[in-house]
Copies of this chain bind each other. A is one copy, B any other.
């Protein structure tokens, strides 16, 4: 016979399962439709769950979108901080970071647009939380990484904030341009091979652009 503790654990598990299912369904809809606009009925259909659960877990659609941002951005910040802390040449750190950014945008092509939308439309306190939790840590990590490379005589001195915009922009543009690829080049999705080619291209372009003479 199950104890109360076991029952609670099992209820929590089911709960977390439905919550994750809703987030994953939203993620898939955004990725496939190349959009960050989603309807609750579409979401409910895809997740195979009653749309009332959105209200239960997230309050409303905006709450669900914030939770998706937390799910997808959290990892990036943790990984970048771990990378910056490593004992490794700064050029190698940056190569790995750019590679990680490309992979992230390949998996979550909506991520940048989602963040912009949340910062734009969220209540000021929520926008400040997003900035504090994701944007500032990323910005700080770039500052440390560039400074380290400049001190080691490896990087040109560049403005880390501007450099951050260049890197994420170059990575984001490719994956948010799937529709352009479709209409101009008759490529119906970005294959892992194209992702790899773009990863190589971007790393090479940016590293050469940054390295000291």
Q: Which residues of A contact B (CB under 8 A)?
A: 34-35, 112, 115-116, 119-120, 127-128, 130-131, 135-136, 139, 158-159, 161-163, 165-166, 168-174, 176-177, 179-180, 183-185, 197-198, 201-202, 204-211
Contacts and interface: CB of A to CB of B under 8 A. Distances in A.
Copies of this subunit: 2
A49 to B, nearest CB: 27
A162 B200 CA distance: 10
A179 B139 contact: no
A184 B135 CA distance: 7
Contact of A209 (B176, B198, B204): B204
A84 B36 CA distance: 37
Given A131-B180, A135-B183, A184-B136, A205 B166 contact: yes
